[in-house]
Amino acid sequence: MQKLTNKEEEIMHILWKLKKAFVKEVMAEITEDQPHYNTLSTIIRNLEEKGYVSYNAFGNTHQYYPLVTIEEYRKRFMSTAIDNYFNSSYKNMVSFFAKEEKITAEELREILAMIETPKK
């Protein structure tokens, strides 16, 4: 799976939300820094070349849909981030969020309960 640019990730989030969309429908979802229609169309075609989306053709118009689920992308993204920024240590990642006060003691207790509860 190739790395996505920030704009490509933004477009993927829209496609994951909409499930299927024409370029004009994706455009309608972009609230800030809206690109030109042709630029957006190029970004989506790049996502197709990278294997993230495909399309159904309706004449000259294409309706795009994701080939990669958000869960698959999240797993890859998180693994890469943990490897690159936390020395492949989930402990380092959790302690970072605790030090930054991005996670509470109660949330950590909930996580511990999930870990300690046997999987069915």
Domain ranges of the chain: 6-66, 70-116
Instruction: Decide yes or no: CATH 1.10.10.10 for domain 6-66.
Output: yes
- Inter-residue contact 25 to 37 (CB < 8 Å): no
pLDDT at 120: 62
Residue type (1 letter), 65: Y
> What distance lies between CA 78 and its chain's CA centroid?
10
> What distance lies between CA 59 and its chain's CA centroid?
30
pLDDT at 3: 84
Number of CB atoms found within 10 A of residue 19's CB: 8
Which pLDDT tens digits describe the chain residue by residue (120 residues)? 788 999 999 999 999 999 999 999 999 999 888 999 999 999 999 999 999 999 999 999 999 999 999 999 999 888 888 999 999 998 899 889 888 888 888 998 998 898 888 776
Cα 23 from Cα 99, distance rounded (Å): 42
pTM over cut 0.75 = yes
- Inter-residue contact 61 to 22 (CB < 8 Å): yes
